[in-house]
Amino acid sequence: MAGTMTTTDDGGGASPTGARRGRPTLRSVLIWTAVAAVGAVCWTVLALARGESVSALWILFAALASYAIAYRFYARFITTRVLRADDRRATPAERLDNGVDFDVTDRRVLFGHHFAAIAGAGPLVGPVLAAQMGYLPGTIWIVVGVIFAGAVQDLTVLFFSMRRNGKSLGQMVREEIGVIGGIAALIAVFAIMIIILAVLALIVVNALAESPWGVFSIALTIPIALFMGFYLRVLRPGRVLEATGIGVALLLLAIIGGGWIQDTGLGDALTLSKEWLVLALVIYGFVASVLPVWMLLTPRDYLSTFMKVGVIVLLAVGLVLARPVLQADAVTGFAREGTGPVFAGSLFPFVFITIACGALSGFHALISSGTTPKMVAKESQVRLIGYGGMLMESFVAISALIAAVVIDQGLYFAMNSPAGATGGTVESAATFVQGLGFSTSAQDLAAFSAAVQEPSLISRTGGAPTLAVGISQIFHDAFGGGLQAFWYHFAIMFEALFILTAVDAGTRVGRFMLQDTIGNVWKKFGDLSWRPGNIIASAVVVGLWGSVLYIGVTDPLGGVNQLFPLFGIANQLLAAIALTLVTVLLVKHGRVRYAWVTAVPLVWDLVVTMTASYQKVFSDNPAIGYFAQRQKYADARAAGELLAPAKDQAQMDQVVFNSTLNGILQAFFALLVLVVAVHAVVVVARAIRAGGLPTTEEPAVESRLVEPSGLFPTAEEKRAMADRDRLVGAGAGRSEAEKK
């Protein structure tokens, strides 16, 4: 295959990946014309439909057709022409194979691992909140954003990290941009991680508060995971599928059981306030971080991954079967006026900040550097794993968006507006949403919560309950059987489960980062097997996210409303750091001609995040600017007045403190990113003048592996693999599977 190609290596000649560049076959032209036509029709319907009933499937197929075209053409262009992935070069997995972290992994298996690592609650929650602006802005940004920004970031970071033996984002920034930039990036990564953990935990708290059914099911996941851990360690070591099968069955029982206990004494005992849940989560996070991974983390991870993939598949099937109709407007008034109750601010820049993960997620750069690049078998597979993995994530985001816009929109706003706005009861909430122009009555709202057997759905902010209502309606319509309450709690459980897994894993990663950093000055602390070090570092990390979580939970203005923008901006700022790095690398490698591929999304992301940061810090509208909000409440406090929704002087103080803190954090994050960006500009200028600069790329070593590049092997690749198997003798393991 690749070895037979001659290359001119100027980027304009034959590609070194073994992809043939010639006339496309008639069949391929017909197929791709058809895909383009389907996409064009779907987008046209979405763009032109006003006032009539529009099926949600138009959104689904518009997205799928766009992904297919982007993957086939743009991702291939980036892999072969921009990055020049070269399958004749051995990957670090092949060169440094140690069976632990460096490990040649089948591309389809690695795709699964990578997807499981990047997909989390972000793409589920962000689109739900962004739905307050209508379905069209969200749909467009999720699809366009992933194609030109999110998937490009994941792909290029994965590639460059792979060429550097899987170095982490922070390490690469330090070596390629400079020490100060590297330190800024390291601090940014750590601080952003804390905010992300706190906001994720906040979503769980909001979903479980006053819900005995949810608390019961989620609490049971802990003994279930412990049992699985024991099973895998002692009873039947290594039988992961058995253990996971048992775990999933117990999990379903736990969901059903929640329905039985909710009206009993146990149910009353499990009706917990948000403050108690915060305490429980903080203790849990700390214990999980110091326990050995086999006990809790690894088995939980199996459970959450299988649940996650299961729900996503089920949701896609459910959407096609139920064919729900869009209830939201294409673009609501909040998009123009920026006065939405779910989050404040106008469409630009806040819709991009809110959707975050489903379109572009800086956090993925941490996974695409470090873990995944050490396992890639062939260079050209980065297209499937990096770009393809992110397209999947975007598809999840689109499904979540659909779930939020097919439910009654009065219910949507009653659920997602803070308690200060809805008043907390069905009557006051009905008055509130009728004021927004919806006809949803108090009886309707009561009926919705009765259908899912929750005490109340009013002001259940955070996105997770809304998504669960959407999913339960879709599954109820698709599969029947009167199981809406079961599906609601099933969805809550699935979200809470993998958010908790993310919190576990994130706390541990944060702990490692802290130990590693402090280990530079205090050697002993960096030793990961030193118990006191583990405990101190875990306590610091948990303490940090726990306090932000507590601040969010007790915020009189509504924690999600206040913290989600901070989370979104932080994530997008991390993406700016990652895109800056890859742009610098393209220029240093002498590929200025193609630097627009990452520079355009970088500039866009910087404009969005800097505008948002500027507004959050300097806006004189108290609904948007943190310091304006602070001023408003501080002035009122000085005059001895109470401002709603604060109910007493203490809550006034709280608002003043929280908005000051949020404003400072906001400004701090933006400054860190500017430090990295300014250093990058200097390096880029030098590199352009010199026509490229040396980088830390590892020298090429010839590869001896024969593996397909894409998901399905081409005829040529099949022949090459058959030759390989003949040479090796009996084709065992991986090659056996390839023949299927």
Footprint of other proteins on residues 198-237 (CB under 8 A)?
A: 199-200, 232-233, 237
C-alpha 290, offset from chain centre: 25
The C-alpha angle with vertex 78 and arms to 75 and 81, in degrees rounded to 5, equals: 135
What separation in angstroms does the CA of 405 have from each of 321, 413, 474, 569, 641?
A: 17, 11, 11, 24, 39
122 binds other proteins (CB under 8 A): yes
State how far the Cα of 438 lies from the Cα of 15, in Å rounded to an integer.
57
Q: Contact region for other proteins (CB under 8 A) — 31-39, 83-91, 118-126, 619-627?
A: 118-126
Collapsing DSSP to helix, strand or coil, 702 comes out as strand
Nearest Cα to Cα of residue 404 among 464, 485, 488, 321: 464
65 binds other proteins (CB under 8 A): no
109 binds other proteins (CB under 8 A): yes
**Closer to other proteins by Cβ: residue 476 or 508:** 508
312 binds other proteins (CB under 8 A): no
Beta bridge partners of 376: 105
Q: Which two three-digit tokens encode residue 179?
A: 């020490």
We find the least distance from the C-beta atom of residue 241 to other proteins, in angstroms, to be 6
**Closer to other proteins by Cβ: residue 525 or 627:** 525
Q: In the set 7, 35, 106, 427, which binds other proteins (CB under 8 A)? A: 106
Q: In the set 302, 432, 525, 550, which binds other proteins (CB under 8 A)? A: 302
We find the least distance from the C-beta atom of residue 191 to other proteins, in angstroms, to be 14
State how far the Cα of 177 lies from the Cα of 174, in Å rounded to an integer.
6
To 10 degrees, what angle do helices 169-176 and 151-162 make? 70
Binding-site string for other proteins from residue 568 to residue 587, where x marks contact by CB under 8 A and - marks none: ---x----------------
State how far the Cα of 623 lies from the Cα of 417, in Å rounded to an integer.
14
Collapsing DSSP to helix, strand or coil, 325 comes out as strand
Torsion of CA 734, 737, 738, 740, to 10 degrees: 170
Q: In the set 74, 227, 479, 512, which binds other proteins (CB under 8 A)? A: 512
Binding-site string for other proteins from residue 333 to residue 372, where x marks contact by CB under 8 A and - marks none: -----------------------xx---x-xx-xx--xx-
State how far the Cα of 83 lies from the Cα of 155, in Å rounded to an integer.
10
Binding-site string for other proteins from residue 384 to residue 403, where x marks contact by CB under 8 A and - marks none: --------------------
432 near 422, Cβ under 8 Å?
Answer: yes
Q: In the set 340, 506, 552, 558, which binds other proteins (CB under 8 A)? A: 506
Q: Which two three-digit tokens encode residue 426?
A: 């069905």
113 binds other proteins (CB under 8 A): yes
State how far the Cα of 414 lies from the Cα of 461, in Å rounded to an integer.
9
Q: Contact region for other proteins (CB under 8 A) — 117-125, 424-432, 558-566, 657-665?
A: 117-125
Q: In the set 42, 65, 83, 121, which binds other proteins (CB under 8 A)? A: 121
State how far the Cα of 202 lies from the Cα of 222, in Å rounded to an integer.
19
What DSSP letter does each residue of 432-468 carry, written as one string?
HHHHTT----HHHHHHHHHHTT-S--TT--SSHHHHH
196 binds other proteins (CB under 8 A): yes
**Closer to other proteins by Cβ: residue 121 or 602:** 121
248 binds other proteins (CB under 8 A): no
To 10 degrees, what angle do helices 240-261 and 484-519 make? 120
Contacts of 239 (CB under 8 A, 6+ apart): 231, 232
We find the least distance from the C-beta atom of residue 105 to other proteins, in angstroms, to be 8
**Closer to other proteins by Cβ: residue 639 or 730:** 730
Q: Which two three-digit tokens encode residue 2?
A: 């690749």
Contacts of 78 (CB under 8 A, 6+ apart): 152, 155, 156, 383, 387, 597
**Closer to other proteins by Cβ: residue 362 or 663:** 362
Prior bond to 24 cis, omega within 30?
no
We find the least distance from the C-beta atom of residue 136 to other proteins, in angstroms, to be 25
Binding-site string for other proteins from residue 673 to residue 712, where x marks contact by CB under 8 A and - marks none: ----------------------------------------
275 binds other proteins (CB under 8 A): no
Q: In the set 460, 508, 630, 632, which binds other proteins (CB under 8 A)? A: 508
We find the least distance from the C-beta atom of residue 446 to other proteins, in angstroms, to be 34
94 binds other proteins (CB under 8 A): no
Q: Contact region for other proteins (CB under 8 A) — 12-20, 24-32, 674-682, 730-738?
A: 730-738
Backbone angles phi, psi at 167, to 5 degrees: -65, 155
What separation in angstroms does the CA of 138 have from each of 143, 349, 394?
A: 9, 12, 11
Residues that bind other proteins (CB under 8 A): 100-101, 106, 108-109, 112-113, 117-122, 196, 199-200, 232-233, 237-241, 244, 292-294, 298, 301-302, 356-357, 361, 363-364, 366-367, 370-371, 498, 501-502, 504-506, 508-509, 512, 528, 567, 571, 732-733, 736-737, 740
